[in-house]
Amino acid sequence: MATTSRDTSFENTLPEYDSSSPAPGDPWPYKRLPRSFNIYYKQWFSSMYQLGEHENQPLFTIQRHAAWGHDKPMMVLHEGADPKGPVVATVTKEGVMKHDTVIELGTIREPLVSDVSMTLKNSRFTFSFDVGRAGKETRRESFEWRISKAIEVRALDSMAFGWKLVRLGPDHNTGRGGSRGLRDVGEASDGHEVVAAWSENSGMTLSKIAKVHFLGAGATGEFGDDWALMAALSAFRLWKFTSMSISVRP
């Protein structure tokens, strides 16, 4: 009987996403987050999660709370491994029946606006943010999380699906776009730039639940440290939304 070799042509097209710390002289794009990191359960079926490159070296801890109202945060981001450590950011729902949320980073308060479809496939979450490096002039830009199985997501996990973060605005619609087979890596179907992506983890581990990666302009640090935290926390919010959804996935 003839043997069938495994097709690796798809794997050879994936961009290299390095989840290890950059070498000396090649610093992290952001002071508090590396270019790639993971989301872990602190304990199975617990309400506590951690962000970091490695499970035993968490950078932040997320404490999730019941969210039946909109007067208390549904998620709280703490510095380091201690769930009682300094509060860095919070996520609060905008009403009981809505998917809209507000993310607060110190004095910064930005809404994460949802456009959720019944099939989930066309669902989107959008936020605007004042971006720019510390000490430099900032500018207002808008970003949109779109559900995806494009190469930017599959490079993180070829067996999983996830979401990509697209930089909106006419100044950033410079690609040719089109179908997945025609457009360049780092471009959405409408030609806008993809600046981050996350995927579920399809591996057998019970602790690692998702992978996040900054790319393009998102990997340069030009958007600023607060934007990176906004992107990371909104990605976790989307993971919770997706994990609780029974809608059809792409």
| Cβ contacts of 12 within 8 Å, gap of 6 or more | none
What pLDDT digit, counting tens, does each position of 110-145 carry? 999 988 776 667 788 999 999 998 878 899 999 999
Residue 23 lies in a domain: no
**Residue 134 DSSP symbol:** T
Per the CB < 8 A criterion, the answer to whether 112 and 221 are in contact is no
Residue 250 lies in a domain: no
Strand-pairing partners, residue 110, are: 103
Q: What distances in angstroms separate CA 58 from CA 32, 39, 55, 219, one per listed residue? A: 11, 9, 6, 20
Distance (Å, whole) CA 40 – CA 34 = 16
Distance (Å, whole) CA 102 – CA 112 = 6
Assign 154 to helix, strand or coil: helix
Distance (Å, whole) CA 124 – CA 89 = 22
In CATH, what number is assigned to the domain containing residue 199?
A: 3.20.90
| Cβ contacts of 242 within 8 Å, gap of 6 or more | 120, 147, 163, 200
Say whether pLDDT at 249 is over 60: no
Q: What is the mean pLDDT of residues 23-27?
A: 40
| Cβ contacts of 118 within 8 Å, gap of 6 or more | 247
Confidence (pTM): 0.83
The number of distinct structural domains making up the chain is: 1
Residue 17 lies in a domain: no
Residue 186 lies in a domain: yes
pLDDT at 174 (0 to 100): 65
- Tokens at 234, concatenated: 């909104």
Distance (Å, whole) CA 249 – CA 246 = 9
pLDDT at 205 (0 to 100): 76
Residue 65 lies in a domain: yes
Residue 24 lies in a domain: no
Distance (Å, whole) CA 236 – CA 156 = 16
Residue 138 lies in a domain: yes
pLDDT at 169 (0 to 100): 80
Query: Where would I find the H helices in the chain?
Result: 9-12, 151-154, 225-243
- Tokens at 174, concatenated: 């410079």
Confidence of residue 12 (pLDDT cuts 50, 70, 90): very low
Residue 27 lies in a domain: no
pLDDT at 223 (0 to 100): 95
Q: What is the mean pLDDT of residues 7-31?
A: 47
Q: Where are the beta strands (DSSP E) in the chain?
A: 36-41, 48-52, 60-64, 75-79, 87-93, 101-105, 108-115, 124-131, 139-148, 162-167, 193-200, 208-214
Domain region containing 148? 33-243
What pLDDT digit, counting tens, does each position of 84-118 carry? 899 999 999 876 667 888 999 988 999 999 887 76
| Cβ contacts of 153 within 8 Å, gap of 6 or more | 160, 161, 162, 163, 164, 197, 198, 199
Answer left, alpha or beta for residue 74, where phi above 0 means left and psi between -120 and 50 means alpha: alpha
